[in-house]
Amino acid sequence: MMMRKVEAGFHVSKPYLFLSLNKLCLAIFLVFVESVVSSGANSIVLVVYEHLIAILVLSPLAFFLEKTKRPPITFKILSYAFLLGLLQVTLSQTLWTMSLQFVSSTYQSVAFNLIPCITFVFALIFHQEKLMFRSMNGQAKIWGLGISIGGALALLLWKGPVVVKAIIFDATSDSVIGWTLIFVGLLANGFGSVLMKHVIKMYPAEISLTALLVIFGTIQAALISAFVVSPFSWKLHFSRSVLLTLLLGGIGVAGLSNYVTTWAIHTRGPVFTASFNPLLVLFSFLLDTFVFRASTHLGSIVGALLVIAGLYLILWAKSNVIEKKEMVINRDGMDVPLIQP
């Protein structure tokens, strides 16, 4: 009896636990890749190498773990996987990595908090979300969206006094370029998350679909790099930091993190999955401030708090909707786990 309760509790907490660990892994990776890019490594080359490692990790897992559940791969699925690779890898990952030449990982992590807002808007457009203005959940979504956007604008437009001084000087180039790269990547990622929800219904094999989009994204990024990157840039100086960045990016972020995201979108939806991005602010702030001694301004703190408050209003509203759906399912006599493995 006790074991059943523990198992049921683990099933309930799985999406929260895995998505939180997912954001911690991404926050650590952002700090590492910022250091590697600032030392002269080419951002597109890093993306290609990381996703090559991810292919080596995901392909065997997809082959052995999804033998029985993997549907046949059709031309339609390959076309969707190509488009997902373009959105999630070629555009999102490449532009975000390039932006670290212009803004710090802390600012990038705060910008990532706009992903739930953008995903929510795309979900409304494609009728994956319903916005009921008169209900409490609908009001929470509206206020959450508005507060999040206000926090992002405060972060962008209001710098404020220095709260924590840097011991090591943290210099960046023109931040407008960095924010533009980030925002285009955010649009691609938000649309990709909504599209993923549609594709995963037709092809319910999360690891295999993730492997396919990573393969296509890697091919696309490699073809682009062939035109814009010099042959000399492919020769990385394999120091300890570069090796850790490639392994963490390939195995943790491009590999397992992408799979966790695909699985969470399948089980909980794109808006719920994207709502965990505020944790990036906390993790990146702690790493950047206390480990790498970067300066922290009042504007970034206030903006981050507003973004977090707004996004968790959206998360609260989504949780209420999910609970109501589960109550209806249980009332109809269907006894299914909250989260399917």
What pLDDT score was predicted for residue 294?
61
pLDDT tens digit sequence for 236-254 = 777 888 898 999 999 999 9
Q: Which residues of the chain have pLDDT under 70?
A: 1-2, 6, 106, 110, 131-133, 152-153, 155-174, 282, 285-286, 288-297, 300, 318-341
Average pLDDT, the chain: 80
Q: Going by C-beta distance under 8 Å and a sequence separation of 6 or more, which residues neighbour residue 23?
A: 276, 277, 279, 280, 283
In whole angstroms, give the CA distance from residue 143 to residue 112: 19
Contact yes or no for 220/92 (Cβ under 8 A): no
Q: Going by C-beta distance under 8 Å and a sequence separation of 6 or more, which residues neighbour residue 126?
A: 194, 198
What pLDDT score was predicted for residue 131?
66
What pLDDT score was predicted for residue 77?
95
What pLDDT score was predicted for residue 167?
39
The residue length of the chain stands at 341
In whole angstroms, give the CA distance from residue 70 to residue 65: 9
What pLDDT score was predicted for residue 155?
62
